[in-house]
Structure 1
Amino acid sequence: MSLFEHPYNYDPGYGYTLERLLGVDAPTEPADFEDFWSTRYRQVLQQSPRFQIGNPTLVDGYRVNDISYQSTDGITIAGWLLEPHGQTVTQAIVVGHGYGGREGPDFHLSFPNTALLFPCFRGISRSRCTSIPERPDWHVVQNILDKDRYVIGGCVDDLWLAVSVLWTIYPQARERIGYMGISFGGGIGALAVPWDGRIRRVHLNVPTFGNQPLRLSLPSCGSADALRAYSQHLGHIPDTLTYYDAATAVRHANQPLHAALALFDPVVAPPGQFAIYNAWHGEKRLFTLDAGHFEYPAQRLQEQQLLAELKLFFSPN
C-alpha cells in the first residue's frame, strides 16, 4: 500500500519497509575500481582551478559573489560564493544541486563563520555549454560508453576542483571543508567524497546513483528512467555504470555522514538512496523523510527539523 495518494502508475515506495531499506546492499565493485577513481583524483588535483570572483552584493547577511573556475576538459564552471558578512570564515562548504539545476544560492542555509560555494555542474544552469546537453535525460547518458569521458565523471571533477577553490581562498578553513548535495548533487558527492580527504564532513539528501542494477530495475521518472531506456536500447546496462555506482564508491568513505533519505520517492527510488547509506564506511547518522521529490503534509516540519540537525552537524566541535 502506498504511503500517499499519487498520480504515478507505480508505487514510489516500491513495497519497501524501513527495515528492508536498511538491508539493501551495494554491488560488487570492479577489480580496478579503486585504482580508477584514485588515479582520476590525483590527475584532477594537478590542475589549477584558475578562479575568478566578482560582482559582490550584500544579501541576507551574506556577501554574494559571482564565481567561475576552470575544470577538466576545458569546461568553465560558474556559480555563487557566499561569505558571511562581518565574520571570519573558519569553515567552507560546497553545495551541490539537483538535476533541475540552480538559478541562485540557497539562502536558508546559514552556518556561523561559514562560506558556501554553489557551483553549477558542467552543462547545467550557469555552466551551460554547447558540448553537453542540459536536459537531464540527455545529460545522464552523455559519453556513457567511455568510462573516462562519461559526463558524470566530469561532474565529479567539477566538485573536486570546487574544493580546490575553497582550499585556495580560505587556507584557514582547510580542516573544515564540507560538502552538501541533494538528489543528483548527492550522487555526485557520494562518488567524489571517498577519494578526497580534504572534505571532512558530508550531508547527502535523497542521493542518486546508488546500486545501479537495482535502481535501473525499478520504475521512476528520474535519471534512472533515462538510463533504463538507454540500456534497453543498447541491450544491456553499460559497463561504465559499474564504475559510477554511488553505493559501491562509499564503501571507501571514512568521513562523517549525515543522510536525509526518503521512504517514498518517484524520482530517486528509495532502495538506491539507502544502498548508499548502508554501504557508507565512516560514522553516519540517518534522518528519515516521509517523501522526496514530492509534496507531503509534514514536509515543512521535517525540513525545519533537518536544518536544525545540519546546523549541529556542521557546527564547531
Structure 2
Amino acid sequence: MPLPEPYDSWFPDAPIDGTYGYDRDALLAVEPVPPPPGFADLWHGWFAASRTVRPEPRLTSLDRQGAHDLYEVEHTGAGGLRLRGWLALPSDGAARVGVVRSHGYGGRDEPGFDRVPDDAAVVFPVARGLGALNVGVGAPDTAAEHVVHGIGSVETYALGRCAVDLWHAADALVEVAGDLPLYYVGESFGGIGALAVPWDRRFVGATFVVPSFGQYDVRLGVECTGSGEAVRRYVAEHPEARDVLRYFDTSTAAGYLRIPVRCECALWDTAVPPPGQFAVANAVAVSARAGSSGAGVAGAASSGAGASGYGVGATLELQDLPAGHAEYPGKDDDNARAAAATRAHIARCLER
C-alpha cells in the first residue's frame, strides 16, 4: 500500500507507514489506558520513599555555555546508585525556576539549552546505563536491552527505576540552586517524566515531546523501529510481562497530572507510534475537562513539598509535529518554534 502524502516523498524507503493508518481525528480519539489496581498508591509510595534519600550532589566545574555556568554533577539515585549528569546555573543573577531536562533513548553526550530560559537552573540527568556518563551503571546501555531490563517485576523494571531517578535529579538541583518551582522537559524516552511528575508537587508545568511508553494496548499490537519493538517481542514470548507494563503506561500516569502541560505529538513516527504519543496528550485533555467541570478524575497528586502548581489544574497545549524521529523539510524551523514555545510555556506556568 502506498504511503500517504507527503510521507511518500519524504520517506520513500520507510519500512513502516509511520501514520499506522491514523489521521489526526483518529489520533485525538485514542483513549488513555485506565489505571490498574493500586497504580496511584504504588507511585505515591515510591515518591515517599525517595524523600528519605539524600542526593549528596558533587559538582565539577566545566565552562560557561551561553547564559549558564556548566558543571558535571554526580548524585544519588534509586537504590543508592551514584549517577552522573550535568547541571547549570545562571551566570548572572539568581535562578527563577528549575528545569529537569531529560533525554531520548540515544542517551545524552552533552547538554542542550534550546528549551531552557536564561534565568533557569537546569539539571540534565542521564538515565542509568545510558549516555556518555552512566554506561555500566544499573542497566544495559543499548535501548533494546534497557527497555526490558528488570521487566520481571514491577519493583525492578528499568523504566520505573529511571522515573524515580528523575526525582533524585530534581533533589540534586534543588539542593544546589535552592527551593525553586520545577518544570520538566522530556522527549521520546523522556516521556518517563509523565510517570514521575504527577506525584511531585514541586513541578508547576511540563513539556513532553514525542513521548514514548503510552497506550501499550495499541503499541504491543504494531511493529515499530524504536525500543517498543523489543518490548513487543518480549511480551509475545513472556505474556506475563504485560501485567508489569500496566504500571508504566505514560497515558495512564498523565491522567493524574494537575498542572499545565505542553505536548508535541507527531503525525508520523516509525519509532514511537503516534497513537501512543497522542494517548498521553489525550489523557491530559481528559483531566483538564474533568477539572473544569468539577467531575471526578482518576486521582489527585498529593505528595511532595515546596512550590506547587497543582492548585491550578491540568491544561493542555498540543502541537502537531509533521513527523517524529526523522528528518523532514522544515524540521529545523519547527524545532526552533517548539523550543520557543516551551520557554513561553515555562513563563506562563510561573505566572499562575
TM-score (structure 1 length as normaliser): 0.95
Q: Mean alpha-carbon deviation: is it higher for 235-244 or for 78-87?
A: 235-244
Equivalence for 2:248? 244
1:290 and 2:322 are equivalent in the alignment: yes
Stretch of structure 1 that moved more, 129-138 or 17-26: 129-138
Deviation, 1:144, is 0.1
Q: Structure 1 residues 50 and 60, CA, compared in 2 at 3 Å: closer, same or farther?
A: same
Aligned to 1:192: 196
Matched position secondary structure for 1:306: helix
Deviates more, 1:195-204 or 1:232-241: 232-241
Distance 1:115 1:210, change over 3 A: same
Report the AA paired with residue 28 of structure 1: P
Partner AA of 1:303 in structure 2: N
How far the C-alpha of 1:221 sits from its partner, in A, is 0.7
SS across alignment from 2:204: strand
1:4 to 7, 20, 25: 7
Match of 1:178?
183
In 2, the alpha carbon distance for the partners of 1:235 and 1:35 equals 24
Secondary structure of the residue aligned to 1:288 is strand
Structure 2 vs 1, CA of residues 246 and 73 (structure 1 numbering), >3 Å: closer, same or farther? same
Percentage identity across aligned positions?
32
Paired residue secondary structure (1:192): helix
Deviations 1:130-156 (A, max 9, x none): 542110000000110100111111101
Name the residue aligned to 1:124.
130
Q: Which residue of 2 aligns with 1:165?
A: 172
Q: Does 1:204 align with 2:208?
A: yes
1:312 counterpart letter in structure 2: A
Secondary structure of 1:257's counterpart equals strand
Q: 1:82 to 1:206 in 2, by over 3 A?
A: same
Q: Decide which of 277, 280, 297 is 1:276's aligned counterpart.
A: 280
Which of 55, 61, 68 is matched with 2:61 structurally? 55
Give the letter aligned to residue 324 of structure 2.
G
Tell me, yes or no, if structure 1 residue 229 matches structure 2 residue 233. yes
Show CA shifts across 1:187-214 (max 9, x none).
2101111111111110000000101121
- TM-score of the two chains, using structure 2 as the length reference: 0.86
Partner-residue secondary structure (3-state), 1:252: coil
The match for 2:89 is 83
Tell me the distance in 2 between the aligned counterparts of 1:162 and 1:48. 11
Q: Is the 8 A contact 2:151 2:241 kept in 1?
A: no
Change (3 A) 1:55 1:169: closer
Which of 327, 336, 340 in structure 2 is aligned with 1:308? 340
- Hey, what's the Cα distance between the residues in 1 that align with 2:243 and 2:184? 28
Code of the residue aligned with 1:285 in structure 2: it is E
The alignment partner of 1:129 has SS state of coil
Regions of 4+ moved over 3 Å: none
Does structure 1 retain, via aligned residues, the 8 Å contact 2:115–2:340? no
For residue 267 of structure 1, the aligned residue among 242, 257, 271 is: 271
Secondary structure of 1:167's partner? helix
Structure 1: gaps of 5 or more residues: none
Aligned mate of 1:97, from 100, 103, 106: 103
Alpha-carbon separation, structure 1, partners of 2:84 and 2:192: 17
Does the CA contact (< 8 Å) of 1:136 and 1:223 recur in 2?
Answer: yes
Compute the displacement of 1:236 (Å): 5.4
Q: Which amino acid aligns with 1:205?
A: V
Shift of 1:165: 1.5
Task: Return closer, same or farther for 1:152/1:290 CA change in 2, 3 Å cut-off.
Answer: same
Deviations 1:170-202 (A, max 9, x none): 3352xx2110000001x2101111111111110
RMSD, aligned α-carbons = 1.4
| Aligned residue in 1 for 2:163 | 156
Pairing 1:37-76 to 2, within 5 Å after superposition? 37-76=43-82
Q: Is the 8 A contact 1:144 1:238 kept in 2?
A: no
Cα shift at 1:235: 4.2
Q: In 1, are the aligned partners of 2:98 and 2:183 still within 8 Å (CA)?
A: yes
Q: Tell me how far apart the structure 2 counterparts of residues 313 and 239 of structure 1 sit (CA, whole Å).
A: 36
Query: In structure 2, what residue type is equivalent to 1:117?
Result: V
**Residues in 1 aligned to 2:233 and 2:335: alpha-carbon distance in whole angstroms:** 33
Q: Equivalents in 2 of 1:253, 1:51: separation in Å?
A: 28
1:107 Cα deviation from its structure 2 partner: 3.1
Q: For residue 258 of structure 2, give the secondary structure of its aligned residue in structure 1.
A: coil
Q: Any idea what SS the aligned residue of 1:127 has?
A: coil
Contact 2:182–2:202 (CA<8 Å) still a contact in 1?
yes
Pair 1:109–1:235, CA change in 2 (3 A)? closer
